[in-house]
C-alpha cells in the first residue's frame, strides 16, 4: 500500500513538472514571444497601421515597474517612440531610455513587455504631422542617444528616463505637451512597495517638489489617440 501511494505521488509530481514545463515554454519562452511579436508587426505593417512618431506603451518587467504602476494608478510603466529605417532586417525601431537611450527593434521591444501587450498612440492633429516634422522629431530623439537612464527622474537632460524622452522630444518639436508634468508629491506614494523604492533611490531626502512626467500622463493625453493595441 505504501509503495502504491509513493508511486501515485511520484506520478502526480511528474505530471506537474511536465505541465509546468509546457506552460513555461508556451507563455514564457523568449523565442515564442519574439515570433509572436514578429507576426504582429508584420500584420500592422501590412495594414499601414504604424507611422513614424507613434508613441508605444507597455508594462515593463523591470524591478521598478510595479511601483510606477501603483504610484501612477496605471497599467503602463514604459514607453518610447517608433521610427522606420530602410536598412537592416527590422524596419521599425523604438527609441527608448532603457539602460541608455538607444534604438530597439520594435519586435524585440514588444516581446520584452508583460504578456507581449502594447498600445500604440498617435497625435490627433489634423492634418497629420508632415513628414518633414517627423524627420525633425527623429533628429531630436537621436540627440539623446547614448545618454544614461535617469533612476532619479530629474528634470534635466544629463540623464533621461523613458517618458521624459517622449515628452521632451515632442515639446522641442513644436511645443506639443503630451500630458501634464507633475510633482513627485502628486503621485500615490502611500503603498509600501512605492515607499521602499523611494527609500532605495533617495534615502530620507525624497524630492517631493521635483517635476516628473509619467508614462500614465502621456498615455492619458488628449493629444493622442489609440491606433493599435494587442490585447
In a domain, 184, yes or no: yes
What backbone phi and psi angles, to 5 degrees, belong to 119? -135, 130
d(CA 169, CA 172): 5
In a domain, 21, yes or no: no
DSSP state of 182: E
* CATH code: domain of residue 226: 3.90.1720.10
In a domain, 195, yes or no: yes
In terms of residue numbers, what domain contains 80?
50-230
The model's pTM: 0.86
In a domain, 143, yes or no: yes
What burial letters (b/e) apply to 100-113, b meaning 16+ CB within 10 Å? ebbbbbbbbbbbbb
In a domain, 90, yes or no: yes
In the prediction, which pLDDT does 30 show?
Answer: 84
d(CA 170, CA 182): 17
d(CA 20, CA 38): 26
Please state whether 219 falls in left (phi above 0), alpha (psi between -120 and 50) or beta.
Answer: alpha
Residues of the chain with pLDDT under 70: 1-28, 87-89, 126-127
In a domain, 36, yes or no: no
DSSP state of 157: S
In the prediction, which pLDDT does 125 show?
Answer: 80
DSSP 70-137: HHHT-S--EEEEEEE-SSSS-SEEEEEEESEEEEEEHHHHHHHSGGG-EEEEEE--SSPPPHHHHHHH
In a domain, 7, yes or no: no
In a domain, 150, yes or no: yes
Count of domains forming the chain:
1
d(CA 170, CA 183): 20
- Helix axes of 30-47 and 2-28: crossing angle, nearest 10 degrees: 30
Amino acid at each position: 500500500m505504501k509503495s502504491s501511494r509513493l508511486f501515485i505521488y511520484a506520478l502526480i509530481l511528474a505530471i506537474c513538472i511536465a505541465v509546468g514545463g509546457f506552460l513555461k515554454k508556451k507563455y514564457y519562452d523568449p523565442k515564442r514571444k519574439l515570433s509572436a511579436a514578429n507576426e504582429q508587426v508584420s500584420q500592422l505593417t501590412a495594414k499601414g497601421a504604424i507611422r513614424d512618431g507613434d508613441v508605444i506603451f507597455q508594462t515593463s518587467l523591470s524591478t521598478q515597474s510595479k511601483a510606477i504602476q501603483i504610484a501612477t494608478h496605471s497599467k503602463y510603466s514604459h514607453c518610447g517612440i517608433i521610427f522606420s529605417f530602410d536598412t537592416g532586417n527590422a524596419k521599425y525601431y523604438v527609441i527608448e531610455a532603457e539602460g541608455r537611450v538607444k534604438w530597439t527593434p520594435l519586435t524585440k521591444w514588444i516581446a520584452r513587455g508583460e504578456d507581449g501587450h502594447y498600445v500604440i498612440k498617435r497625435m490627433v492633429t489634423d492634418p497629420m504631422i508632415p513628414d518633414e516634422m517627423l524627420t525633425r522629431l527623429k533628429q531630436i530623439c537621436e540627440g539623446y542617444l547614448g545618454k544614461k537612464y535617469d533612476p532619479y527622474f530629474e528634470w534635466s537632460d544629463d540623464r533621461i528616463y523613458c517618458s521624459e524622452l517622449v515628452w521632451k522630444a515632442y515639446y522641442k518639436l513644436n511645443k506639443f505637451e503630451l500630458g501634464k508634468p507633475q510633482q513627485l508629491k502628486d503621485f500615490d506614494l502611500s503603498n509600501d512597495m512605492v515607499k521602499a523604492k523611494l527609500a532605495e533611490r533617495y534615502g530620507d531626502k525624497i524630492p517631493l517638489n521635483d517635476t516628473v512626467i509619467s508614462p500614465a500622463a502621456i498615455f492619458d493625453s488628449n493629444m493622442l489617440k489609440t491606433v493599435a493595441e494587442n490585447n
